[in-house]
Structure 1
Amino acid sequence: MDTSFLDSLSDSDFDLDLHLIMGKKSSQKKFATMLDSDDTDSMSSSTSSMRLDNMTENGLSEVQVGKDDLLDQCLDALYEKRGSTREKALASIIESFNSSLQNEFVETKFATLLQQCLNSIKKGSAKEVALASHAIGLLAVTVGPGEKAQEILEESLSPISDALRIRPETSKILSLLQCLAVITFVGGEDPEQTEKSMHIMWQVARPKLGANVAAFKPSPAVIAMMVSSWSFLLTTVNGWALNPKSWQESILYFSTLLDKDDRALRIAAGEALALIFEIGNLDKFCGENKDSSEPTIDEGKDSRKLMYLHGLRTKILGQVRGLSAEAGGKGSAKKDLNSQRNTFRDILDFLEDGYTPETSMKIGGDPLNTSSWTQLIQLNFLKHFLGGGFVKHMQENQFLHDVFGFTPKKKLLSGTEQRMSGSEKRMYKSPNSALSKARTQLLNKQRTLAQGRNAGHFAVDE
């Protein structure tokens, strides 16, 4: 064997290679140390205050990492033993996913990020669980419908369900419920998958108590999030596809929530009721809980059910009227009061006359419109979940374009350029975005038809 090449290498060449290797390890160590520094701003479970520019000021400039390198090093930091290091790395990942669509990173590091986030949900502190849950939700929104989204749902369902049963801190439950809603919304391919997630949510507020189940009293904030998450998933399921034995008492339950002394909870329950009436198939959501699961040929049962539904409808309309004109009480926040009044005025108009609320907002100068309770609930939920990343995702995320039928002018121009330049430019598109778009359009069409079909159900007899 000719060893002349090896012989020609000097000791200094090996020293240089060793220096480069050790330098990389040193940079990774610096990054982990920087994440653990006491000077780094603290983070809440719902928002990430650890911004990329703050991280640079805290020493990341010494490492000279780019955007992709930053995410790689944050991913490496999720293997660290110290919980605070993992928390700050997760916060940085969330910030990165909010500030831009990380399609290339997700393409190569998807499975690793998912598994590390699931490990955080299984073993981390309440803050770490909340951050990991949010990161998984952002991962699902970024990848869009397809095999990856289905994998996220399948892999995450059991850990999330287990974490919710532990009855953790409120912040932890809120993030887990949001995460479950988002990953099911993106990755759920059939009604059975969606209903399974809806049942998990329902058990948080209304657990089936047994010998081995401890009593748990959820806070109003937890119940409000459960109702909002449940409603968000209900927007994706046709009424006829629901299990008739599963939600028989839901209308009655939401009606009781309208009497609670918490405005956010009232609003969530009111929107859930409006959505149920918009979907139709009210027999799936209304029952007296008397032999409702037993088959019968008793003709009087249908008549009794109609009478019960009429009475419940009359009660709900009375509650909605009262909340739409509430004068407020001692110590009531005026902002919350106005929000409640406006929401229940819209609900009252819908229940009495069949008018759905129409909204319009600007996304980078382009109008995003909604014309049904289904669209409004989807928009409000995703806007709340994405927070500061909402506008960026609405401008560039193909999945959200399909959901809301929204096409920014900027995208139209770039599409024209792409057709002109052939294969030189690449636009991100989820694997089955066409299928997602078709499904969403079908559901929205069915909701519109349901509005007219059910308008007669809402009016109180003169």
Structure 2
Amino acid sequence: MCSHTTKHRCIIQRSAVDISSLFWCLPVVSSVSTTGAGEPLDEQTAQEETEDKLKQCIDNLMDKSAKTRLAALESLRGAFSSRLLCDFLTERRLTISDCLERSLRKGGGEEQAAAATVCAQLCVQLGGGDESEEGFKILRPVLSAIVIDGCASVAARQSCASALGMCCYVSAAEDGEDLVKSMSHLESVFTTSYPNFEGTLPTPKAGTPGLHSAALHAWALLVTLCPASRLTVLLDIHLLKLQACLESSDVNYRIAVGETIALLVELGRDIDREFEDSDMLCECLKGLATDGNKHRAKNDRRKQRSIFREVLHYIETIGHWMRRRVYDAFKEVLESGVRHHLQFNPLLRDIFGLGPPLILDSSIKASKISRFEKHLFNSAAFKARTKLRNKVRDKRADVM
């Protein structure tokens, strides 16, 4: 069985084309597969075939050809997203971690970006136990180095920022030092978007708004793990400066900032019932929620108004924005496979307080799964924060 502890969150030589599409046609081991002659495969045989293909992909991570390595990473990305492979990966975690570290250190920008995504998926697959923490110890330094490297590919830095946030969230729950370091590296990225001493926002360079958004989202995810004493400091440092960034010229960064503000306000109220967001902030959010500026693209205005209406609603009604940030982080890493993991991955079910993994008949309709996903948002009891903070607040407070 997969090693999954409660202490965190109670958490070939084939052508490159063949490799890149390998896992989109892998047999699903929980259903009946067939051989090339149309004969049914039993579950064990299907599992063995899947594992053989996985082993070949892992071997290809060490290939001299960058094209082959990249194809292998993309195949692993699809496999890790669409099925649970904890037992298989636990036995090979160090080999995979070493291969991913090599791709991050020596690969080009595209390979680095793909490797970072697989890093995050690997941590989610391994769960919040010792195996995941072990892998994070290997990968955190190189992920952090790329995040803060101004000469690295923007796409690689962006992917590494997201991966650093997720890996730390899953794997470093009881290590305050790793949390502090990871948050500091992420802060060093998005704070370059803050206004200068004259109150003027810097002109963003090409690609940087996306990088800033990824770093900010990853940072916000880690903020949810901080003890109350640290949260108070973070609110004092960042809330007003983030408010100024609501005037950013990039719509997606404005949205990321607004979502982060909603999270910080919620956390502020959580640690201090008398915490109040400023009237100026609410007026600013209302302006963005009704923005009709003709200088902005119509689709940008529509997207912005939709998001900021929701942000404003959460702030005015004391909603649960943290629940959304955590869910969105996992959805970004797992993509369309997030529904599968919400059903069967013990880590995610534990984080969201959904009980033991579901055992569903393969004939269940997609609409049933959609209702399950909806249940995640509508659940009144979001247990992850309470569980986590009760267990680790004292340990973290000493470090932070």
Q: 1:387: which partner in 2?
A: 335
Q: Unaligned stretches of 5+ in structure 2?
A: 1-11, 28-35, 37-45, 194-203, 362-381, 391-400
Q: 1:440 aligns with which of 381, 385, 398?
A: 385
- How many equivalent residue pairs? 328
Deviation at 1:152, TM superposition (A): 2.1
Q: 1:317: which partner in 2?
A: 282
Residues 71 and 93 in structure 1, CA contact (< 8 A), matched pair in contact too: yes
Residues 104 and 143 in structure 2, CA contact (< 8 A), matched pair in contact too: yes
- 1:202 and 2:174 equivalent? no
CA 1:260/1:207 → structure 2, altered by over 3 Å: closer, same or farther?
Answer: closer
CA 1:148/1:443 → structure 2, altered by over 3 Å: closer, same or farther?
Answer: closer
**3-state secondary structure, aligned to 1:249:** helix
TM-score, normalised relative to structure 2: 0.73
Equivalent AA in structure 1 for residue 335 of structure 2: G
Equivalent AA in structure 1 for residue 173 of structure 2: E
Equivalent AA in structure 2 for residue 80 of structure 1: D
Q: 2:267 aligns with which of 279, 285, 290?
A: 279
Q: 2:344: which partner in 1?
A: 396
Equivalent AA in structure 2 for residue 200 of structure 1: H
Deviation at 1:189, TM superposition (A): 2.2
- 1:128 and 2:114 equivalent? no
C-alpha separation in 1, matches of 2:55 and 2:91: 11
Deviation at 1:236, TM superposition (A): 2.1
- 1:234 and 2:179 equivalent? no
- 1:93 and 2:73 equivalent? no
Q: 1:348: which partner in 2?
A: 312
TM-score, normalised relative to structure 1: 0.64
Residues 158 and 214 in structure 2, CA contact (< 8 A), matched pair in contact too: yes
C-alpha separation in 2, matches of 1:173 and 1:267: 20
Q: 2:200: which partner in 1?
A: none
Moved over 4 A (4+): 53-56, 281-284
Residues 314 and 321 in structure 2, CA contact (< 8 A), matched pair in contact too: no
Question: What are the residue-to-residue correspondences of 1:15-414 with 2, within 5 Å?
Answer: 31-35=12-16, 50-52=21-23, 66-167=49-150, 168-190=152-174, 191-206=176-191, 219-242=208-231, 244=233, 248-280=236-268, 313-330=278-295, 332-334=297-299, 336-352=300-316, 354-356=317-319, 372-407=320-355, 410-411=358-359
Deviation at 1:411, TM superposition (A): 3.5
Higher relative contact order, chain-length normalized (CA < 8 Å, sep 6+): 2
Deviation at 1:439, TM superposition (A): 5.5
Q: Unaligned stretches of 5+ in structure 1?
A: 1-30, 42-48, 209-215, 285-305, 357-371, 414-436, 446-462
CA 1:351/1:388 → structure 2, altered by over 3 Å: closer, same or farther?
Answer: closer
Deviation at 1:106, TM superposition (A): 0.8
C-alpha separation in 1, matches of 2:98 and 2:212: 29
Identity %: 24
C-alpha separation in 2, matches of 1:379 and 1:219: 24
Residues 190 and 213 in structure 2, CA contact (< 8 A), matched pair in contact too: no
